[in-house]
Amino acid sequence: MNEILENVVLADSVNRYLVAAPKIAARRKAGQFVIVRIDEFGERIPLTIADADPAQGTITLVVQAVGKSTAQMATLKPGDRLLDVVGPLGAPTHIERVGTVAVVAGGIGIAPAHPVAQAFKQAGNTVIAILGARSKNLLIMEDEMRRAADEVIVCTDDGSYGCPGLVTHVLNDLIDTRGKPDQVFAVGPVPMMKYVSLLTREYGIPTMVSLNPIMMDGTGMCGGCRVTIGGHTKFACVEGPDFDGHLVDFDELMQRQAFYKEQERVAYERYVQRCRSQEHIAQANQSL
| Region near other proteins per CB under 8 A, out of 171-179, 198-206, 227-235, 240-248 | 227-235
Smallest gap from Cβ 69 to other proteins, in A, equals 6
| Region near other proteins per CB under 8 A, out of 87-95, 104-112, 182-190, 240-248 | 87-95
Are the C-beta atoms of residues 101 and 128 closer than 8 Å to each other?
yes
Task: Confirm or reject binding of residue 88 to other proteins (CB under 8 A).
Answer: yes
Q: Which of 65, 74, 228, 246 binds other proteins (CB under 8 A)?
A: 228
Task: Confirm or reject binding of residue 87 to other proteins (CB under 8 A).
Answer: yes
| Region near other proteins per CB under 8 A, out of 85-93, 136-144, 148-156, 190-198 | 85-93
| Nearest to other proteins of 232, 284 (CB atom) | 232
CA 23 to chain centre: 21
- Tell which residue, 11, 20, 105, has the closest CA to residue 54: 20
In angstroms, the CA 136 to CA 43 distance is: 32
Task: Confirm or reject binding of residue 233 to other proteins (CB under 8 A).
Answer: yes
Residue 204's Cβ-count burial label (10 Å; 0-12, 13-18, 19+) is exposed
Concatenating the DSSP letter of every residue in 119-142 gives: HHHHTT-EEEEEEEESSGGG---H
Question: How large is the greatest C-alpha to C-alpha distance in the chain, in angstroms?
Answer: 69
Are the C-beta atoms of residues 73 and 15 closer than 8 Å to each other?
yes
Task: Confirm or reject binding of residue 218 to other proteins (CB under 8 A).
Answer: yes
Q: Which of 69, 100, 156, 212 binds other proteins (CB under 8 A)?
A: 69
Smallest gap from Cβ 63 to other proteins, in A, equals 15
Task: Confirm or reject binding of residue 43 to other proteins (CB under 8 A).
Answer: yes
Task: Confirm or reject binding of residue 256 to other proteins (CB under 8 A).
Answer: yes
